[in-house]
């Protein structure tokens, strides 16, 4: 049967989702645990290619496996074989042609900033610390310039995989980009059909320039048109893959 799994992980100790020649990956851990079910490699397809240090609450994987019992039993058995920094939340049957990656309609990422004069050791794994006060209204104003179908070359590079339908194409459709404050945390939420390599972190880094008063919101249009360089790539620890959406 073809299955879709929704999982979460703390990305701190991983070199990314995809299998790496050197270093620990989420995909390798998932497939290592699945191997025990039939003593043969079960290839998983991930819905999102998170980088080293990036977390996930709604990552997805699809794969085919021989299993005749209840899926809840399968989920519990799979989780029992996984390390403590990965947990499978849900498993469901999907069509044989379903792909966690290519069947996705959009992906939602969230980036968190701890905006306080003092560092909080209990937040450093999941939020980027900035001690100076940030202007949320200015960042939200700049964020409006990024909504829609645009060439996002200023913020990243497209995938180079030979079978990827987005190969060499820097155009992405950003459906939502919100900047909100929750107490001492600033939360950036961005949804798009797909993302360029490091696109979210470069967008956040550029918005932080606006929040610091280094760049006015009106300059964001010049960044898109590559008349001005974008900001730094924000550190990976603040980024979480929140959800991958499908028409199921």
Enzyme catalytic residues: 51
Q: Which H or E element spans position 25?
A: none
Q: How far apart are the first and last CA of the chain?
A: 16
* Residue 50 to residue 114: CA distance in whole angstroms: 21
In whole angstroms, how far apart are CA 49 and each of 200, 201, 216? 12, 14, 32
The string of DSSP codes covering 105-155 is EEEEEEEEEEESSS--TTTTTTSEEE-S---HHHHHHHHGGG-EEEE-GGG
Rounded CA gap, 224 and 221, in Å? 5
**Is the four-CA dihedral 234, 240, 244, 245 of positive or negative sign?**
negative
CA distances to 5, 27, 69, 94 from 33, rounded to whole Å, are 14, 10, 18, 21
- Give the Cα-Cα-Cα angle 112, 246, 44 (nearest 5 degrees): 85
What the block records as the tokens of 117 is 């004069």
Say if residue 177 is exposed, middle or buried (CB neighbours under 10 Å; 0-12, 13-18, 19+).
Answer: buried
């Amino acid at each position: 049967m073809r299955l879709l799994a929704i999982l979460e992980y703390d990305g701190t100790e991983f070199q990314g989702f995809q299998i790496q020649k050197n270093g620990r990956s989420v995909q390798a851990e998932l497939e290592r645990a699945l191997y025990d079910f039939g003593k043969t490699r079960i290839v998983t397809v991930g819905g999102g290619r998170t980088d080293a240090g990036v977390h996930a609450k709604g990552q997805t994987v699809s794969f085919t496996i021989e299993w005749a019992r209840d899926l809840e039993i399968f989920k519990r058995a799979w989780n029992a074989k996984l390390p403590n920094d990965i947990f499978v939340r849900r498993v469901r049957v999907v069509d044989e042609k379903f792909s966690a990656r290519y069947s996705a309609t959009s992906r939602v990422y969230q980036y968190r900033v701890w905006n306080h004069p003092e560092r909080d050791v209990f937040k450093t794994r999941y939020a980027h610390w900035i001690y100076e006060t940030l202007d949320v209204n200015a960042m939200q104003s700049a964020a409006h310039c990024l909504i829609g179908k645009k060439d996002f070359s200023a913020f990243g590079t497209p995938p180079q995989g030979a079978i990827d339908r987005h190969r060499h194409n820097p155009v992405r459709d950003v459906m939502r980009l919100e900047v909100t404050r929750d107490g001492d945390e600033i939360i950036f939420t961005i949804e798009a059909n797909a993302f360029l390599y490091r696109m979210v972190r470069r967008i956040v880094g550029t918005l932080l320039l606006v929040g610091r008063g280094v760049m006015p919101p009106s300059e964001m249009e010049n960044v898109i048109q590559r008349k001005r360089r974008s900001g730094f790539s924000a550190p990976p620890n603040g980024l979480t893959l929140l959800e991958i959406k499908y028409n199921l």
